[in-house]
Chain A
Amino acid sequence: MSADAAPAVKPKRWPYAIALLFVLPLAVAVHSWEAVRDWLHYSDLIATHVPAGKSLDIGGAEWRLVDLQKVATSKDGAATVVAQLEAKITDAEKFALGPCLTRAAKPGGPIWWSDSSAQDNYVNSKPELKDAKSCWRAGAAGLKAGDSITMVEAFKMPENVVDQVRLEILLPSIKPYYLVFDR
């Protein structure tokens, strides 16, 4: 070995370690993007509030809650609560993109899904509501832009929560948002 040979240069490794800090999260993000997008597309995550007495144009219609009230109480303390809604169609194609689901929910508490047999019983007992449909069936009613439709939903819940629940509507066309009608 000659005395004037150049000393061996130690390769620098830290730039690669720093690059990994950026590349790894980026690789995870790219890999999981489709799963996150699907999750957002199928989830009801963000509440869009409709102030009491107001309407909101969303999901192909202008939605308005006409009434939400208890109509009967059975001997076992189960209250039947009926919600009456109106929708004026603004985009028929978007409106028909069902199924529309409705639920009554206590803020931070349980969820009561609509009860189709209670809805049928109520609608059949009210001649003035003979053309009313459930939100689920409204999408298939063949409505055009400018048409209006009355919808009726019924729920069974304990009497002591009737005043605390709010009507919520889940529409496929607006996910991850959903509608909450304030009282």
Chain B
Amino acid sequence: MNRLASILVVAASILALQAMRQTRPDYAAITSPVSVSGGMKESIASRDFKVEITGYKVARRLKYTEGDKTVELTTSGVWVLLAPKVEALTQTLVLSSAAWRGPNGADYLASDRGPGRIPMLTSTTINPGLPAQGVLIFEIPEDQLQGGKIRLAATRALPVDNEVAVTMSPYKQEDIIDVFEFPK
């Protein structure tokens, strides 16, 4: 009887170990940022910062002037433009990591192509108690527009940091602008 019990305990232990091995998250999952999710027009707060996105625009081309020169940016997909309101909660920071996560799971990083005079969010210093706003531009395939999410974090280099994920509201196909022109 004792021997049977021992065999059962060993068998159960092996099964439990195997189950733990199978369900163990990989290193990237263990060290990925702690994400707080929400939708547009909501103020979403993570540990270190707060974000609110009230709207966004989608265009096939971007146009701006720099000095006497007119620059036009084209793409085989679409350009997504938005200007989130952000506030630091615990310390001065820069939200240097911004990505559009498409429904296929791919992250499209914010583009730095745009007029130099426009303050980009990914290079804006945000101080506690001083809300700020900065522009984000993404270049994405058109089929990744609906069901997209904006992911914002101070850095992707720091494991187990905090990030905010904003689920973007659907964008009507007929609202896609042919040319978005940045104000002078």
Contacts and interface: CB of A to CB of B under 8 A. Distances in A.
Interface of A: 76-78, 103, 109-113, 115, 155-158, 160-161
What secondary structure prevails in chain B residues at the interface with A? strand
A157 B91 contact: no
Contacts of B88: 110
Given A111-B92, A112-B128, A158-B129, 13 more contacts: A78-B130, A103-B91, A110-B89, A110-B128, A110-B129, A111-B128, A112-B92, A113-B92, A115-B127, A155-B127, A157-B128, A157-B130, A160-B129
B130 A158 contact: yes
Interface in B71-118: 88-92
A111 B90 contact: yes
Contact of A115 (B89, B90, B125): B125
Interface residues of B, number: 10
Nearest to B126: A156
B168 to A, nearest CB: 28
A157 B129 contact: yes
Interface of B: 88-92, 125, 127-130
Contacts of B125: 115, 156
Contacts of B128: 109-112, 157-158
A104 to B, nearest CB: 9
Nearest to A104: B92
Contacts of B89: 110
Select the residue from B88, B89, B91, B130 with max chain A CB neighbours within 10 A: B130
B90 A110 contact: yes
A116 to B, nearest CB: 10
B111 to A, nearest CB: 24
Contacts of B129: 110, 157-158, 160-161
Contacts of B92: 103, 111-113, 115
A112 B127 CA distance: 6
B91 A111 contact: yes
The 3 lowest CB-CB distance pairs between A and B, nearest first, are A110-B128, A158-B129, A111-B91
Contacts of B127: 78, 112, 115, 155-157
Contacts of A78: 127, 130
A112 B90 CA distance: 9
Select the residue from B91, B125, B128 with max chain A CB neighbours within 10 A: B128
29 contacts: A78-B130, A103-B92, A109-B128, A110-B89, A110-B90, A110-B91, A110-B128, A111-B90, A111-B91, A111-B128, A112-B91, A112-B92, A112-B127, A113-B91, A113-B92, A115-B92, A115-B125, A115-B127, A155-B127, A156-B125, A156-B127, A156-B130, A157-B127, A157-B128, A157-B130, A158-B128, A158-B130, A160-B129, A161-B129
